[in-house]
Chains A and B, each alone.
Chain A
């Protein structure tokens, strides 16, 4: 295969990854790494470098629309970024000492977890009383709905912060946005309404990914021949996905895709144990 054909196939595949990632809410990176390693037989380190870039592109590209709708809680995002960036730098440091196979297996486990998270039931819970820390850090806020502004308050700020630290480590180690863990921290621990937690999570992913990407760039994980088709493709796919989302409800797609990604994850884990990376 020559470079031209390889780049074009990669561009189209990355577009599909971006489209599916955006429709299912899993993010492009989660699909990109198995795609690059299992199908294109690219070393997982190059795949991680490319996926980090794609995460940043998605997060920065989508920020405008979320901010416009006034859903993102910027203070909360900034506060939790202390945890995710610290985690991401730590993750990038640990990555050097981790065998490549262990990274593949861990990624498989995180994929299954992310798939399970996308199909779980989402309930819009609104807390009327916040924890002490939530007032101190001015994290309680409101967001617009069809029936007007809705106020919400936060609980268990410390617990959420700790999960975010872990999300950061995984993001730095695996090159994914780990949006599923971020939502778990905000949605599950801190009791933030689902809409706010997903958009704030997306808002944070770019900064988190940048914290480890600068290390990976210096380590030579970012290969221009892979980076350019991947970034352009994923971003294009994500924009198409965002458009489609306003017209359709992808619940069925989510379920089918979660099952598919689980099989991919099992393959990653299987290959990891058989030292295929």
Chain B
């Protein structure tokens, strides 16, 4: 246990965090790539939607429920949005693991700072700020 702890408080945890981030980015890109290829295969021949006019996306692209329902039914665009969600999650994972690293070093001040940053982002996610 002591050894594991030492291993973790070392720079190893930082490298581990780096690996987590890279894996997250690669996963997100792979999902987006799969979704993108499907999207092009299904709709590639259609003409480009009018992106010059902002309509805003519907619930199928903007909520957990909508995106997961779309993925379950195999819809290409929702698979891309799932990749987007994984991409958004990578910095959150980084904060989370940094918090654990600080806790192992018994650095209370930085555990608090990390929690505060995580709190701000979670507030941004669930605080109903979308209006």
Is chain B a partner of chain A in the same complex? yes
Residues of A that sit less than 8 Å from B by CB? 1-4, 6-7, 40-43, 45-46, 53, 56-57, 59-61, 63-65, 67-68, 70, 74-75, 78-79, 81-82, 85-86, 88-89, 92-93, 96, 137-138, 206-207, 209-215, 217-229, 231-232, 235
Among B53, B90, B117, B129, point to the contact of A93 (Cβ < 8 A).
B129
Task: Closest B residue to A81 by CB, please name it.
Answer: B117
6 closest residue pairs by CB, A with B: A220-B56, A4-B44, A64-B18, A220-B57, A224-B80, A228-B36
Interface CB pairs A-B, < 8 A, 15? A57-B28, A60-B91, A65-B18, A67-B11, A67-B15, A78-B113, A78-B117, A138-B107, A210-B91, A217-B85, A218-B62, A218-B63, A223-B57, A228-B35, A231-B87
Number of A-B pairs, beta carbon distance below 8 Å? 203
Q: Does B1 interact with chain A (Cβ within 8 Å)? A: no
CB pair B88–A213 under 8 Å, yes or no, is: yes
Cβ contacts under 8 Å, A3 to chain B: 39-40, 43-48
Chain B residues with Cβ under 8 A from A213's Cβ? 88
Closest chain B residue to A92, Cβ basis: B129
Which of A2, A42, A229 has a CB less than 8 Å from the CB of B51? A42
Question: What DSSP secondary structure best describes chain B's contact surface?
Answer: helix
Distance between B96 CB and nearest chain A CB, rounded to angstroms = 11
Given A64-B22, A138-B109, 7 more A-B residue pairs with CB atoms under 8 Å apart are A74-B98, A85-B120, A93-B129, A138-B110, A214-B88, A228-B35, A232-B29
Q: Is the CB of B61 within 8 A of A224?
A: yes
Q: Are A222 and B57 closer than 8 Å at their CB atoms?
A: yes
- Chain A neighbourhood of B14, CB < 8 A: 67, 74
**Cβ-defined contact, B52 with A43, below 8 A:** yes
Q: Would A225 and B110 count as touching, CB distance under 8 A? A: no
B-side contacts of A231, CB under 8 Å: 28-29, 32, 83-84, 87
